[in-house]
């Protein structure tokens, strides 16, 4: 018999977070989160996502053994402002038993019906900066710190339960040696002069901070037209600024501004922390922090986390200025591989940015939808 229990206390949440550690034990491709970081993300007093969202956490048991977990989420900004009557689910992990999946999803259905919502979609987080999608291809590729890994049967369970594909995402990779300066060097010089643009580079985090609010405003403007986009609020800006920006190498943050000091393009790249997180195995102490710091300083692989261009400049080649600055930085750092985190498969504008670098699709993932 399968029993599903709501998780409420910090001790129960820690158990919830630790379940995948046993499910993926000895898996070479799963990248564990930092347990303390996950706890903070689920803390309604700390994560500003809860300002506009509510979430409920569940564990499934059989014979007193944990066999699955799920989070049921309503993003009220999405429901009320965008009129998308959707209940989300995320942080989904389960053994290969469709009855467990069915029991967990029933809690999501209950929340949706209780609030007169029309459909379910997942896996996805509270907002656009959270992890998204169930992996459908690329199970033998090392995950990243900002993606979920899962077994192949996850998608099979959803399909057997009547879910349909809602959105498709791709992840790609290319060697840095594919990035030839001649692809964009002359073009970016012309673009800078024509539109009176200039790049901003940084050596210290404190110098980045005055621009971060503008960056998030530009993020909202850049992605507003994409499906399922929910704007970042002012409170979330402060949270992400404190939580993430200070941890990112300042030289891996690039901005482009116009003559009036308005940001028109930005990009954030992070060193690959995947191997370091595997070594840390969920804990910062005693050695986890050392592994992460070592990766921050020495990783030869980088992940393009976010890139955004103002709609007025998306067809004017502003990204070429960013690539020129990264080419200089990556050459100095001896970077070997560039990894693209999930991009919507139908976001053709972003795919066009990378086409000259010969990217190879290494993973595919989906969100699934079911009408209630």
Residue-wise DSSP of 36-104: HHHHHHT-TTT-GGGGSEEEEEEEEEETTEEEEEEEEEEEHIIIIIS---EEEEEEEEE-S-HHHHHHH
pTM exceeds 0.85 for this model: yes
b/e sequence 210-243, b meaning 16+ C-beta within 10 Å = ebbebbbbbbbbbbeeeebbbbbbeebbebbbee
Structure-block tokens of residue 131: 């992890």
Architecture of domain 2-168: 3-Layer(aba) Sandwich (3.40)
pLDDT of residue 238: 86
CA 347 to chain centre: 16
pLDDT of residue 228: 64
pLDDT of residue 348: 82
Structural domain boundaries in the chain: 2-168, 175-364
User: Does 286 sit behind a cis peptide bond, omega within 30 degrees of 0 on the bond before it?
Assistant: yes
Distance between CA atoms of residues 154 and 160, nearest Å: 10
299: CB partners within 8 A, 6+ apart: 271, 272, 273, 276
pLDDT of residue 112: 98
Q: Which residues of the chain have pLDDT under 50?
A: none
Specify whether the CB–CB gap between 126 and 53 falls below 8 A: yes
Architecture of domain 175-364: 3-Layer(aba) Sandwich (3.40)
The alpha carbons of the chain give a radius of gyration, in whole angstroms, of 21
pLDDT of residue 246: 80
CA 62 to chain centre: 32
- List, for residues 118-127, the tens digit of each pLDDT value: 999 999 999 8
Same fold, 2-168 and 175-364: yes
pLDDT of residue 82: 87
pLDDT of residue 257: 96
Distance between CA atoms of residues 192 and 264, nearest Å: 12
DSSP string, 280-292: HTT--TTTHHHHH
Q: Which residues pair with 164 in a beta bridge?
A: 369
DSSP class of residue 132? B
pLDDT of residue 270: 95
């Amino acid at each position: 018999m399968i029993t599903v229990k709501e998780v409420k206390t910090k001790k129960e949440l820690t158990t919830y977070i630790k379940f995948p550690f046993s499910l993926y034990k000895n898996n070479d491709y799963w990248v564990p989160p930092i347990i303390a970081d996950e706890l903070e993300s689920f803390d309604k007093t700390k994560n500003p996502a809860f300002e506009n969202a509510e979430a409920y956490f569940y564990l499934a048991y059989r014979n007193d053994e944990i066999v699955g977990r799920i989070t049921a989420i309503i993003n009220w900004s999405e429901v009320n402002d965008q009129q998308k009557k959707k209940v989300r689910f995320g942080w989904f992990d389960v053994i290969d038993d469709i009855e467990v999946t069915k029991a967990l999803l029933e809690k999501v259905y209950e929340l949706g019906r209780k609030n007169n919502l029309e459909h379910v979609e997942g896996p996805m987080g509270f907002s656009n900066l959270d992890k998204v999608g169930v992996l459908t291809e690329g199970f033998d590729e090392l995950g990243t710190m900002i993606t979920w890994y899962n077994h192949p049967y996850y998608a099979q369970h959803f399909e057997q339960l009547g879910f349909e594909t809602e959105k498709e995402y791709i992840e790609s990779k290319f060697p840095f040696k594919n990035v030839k300066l001649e692809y964009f060097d002359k073009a970016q010089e012309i673009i800078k002069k024509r539109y009176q643009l200039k790049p901003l580079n940084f050596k210290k985090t404190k110098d980045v901070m005055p621009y971060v609010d503008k960056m998030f405003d530009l993020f909202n403007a850049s992605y507003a037209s994409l499906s399922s986009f929910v704007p970042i609020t002012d409170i979330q800006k402060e949270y992400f600024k404190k939580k993430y920006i200070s941890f990112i190498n300042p030289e891996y943050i690039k901005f482009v501004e116009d003559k009036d000091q308005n940001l028109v393009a930005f990009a954030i790249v992070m060193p690959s922390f995947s191997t370091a997180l595997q070594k840390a195995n969920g804990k910062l102490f005693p050695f986890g922090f050392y592994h992460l710091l070592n990766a921050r300083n020495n990783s030869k692989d980088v992940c393009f986390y976010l890139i955004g261009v103002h709609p007025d400049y998306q067809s004017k080649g502003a990204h070429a200025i960013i690539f020129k600055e990264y080419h200089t930085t990556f050459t100095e750092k001896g970077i070997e591989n560039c990894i693209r985190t999930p991009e919507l498969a139908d976001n053709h504008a972003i795919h066009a940015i990378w086409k000259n670098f010969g990217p190879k699709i290494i993973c595919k993932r989906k969100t699934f939808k079911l009408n209630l």
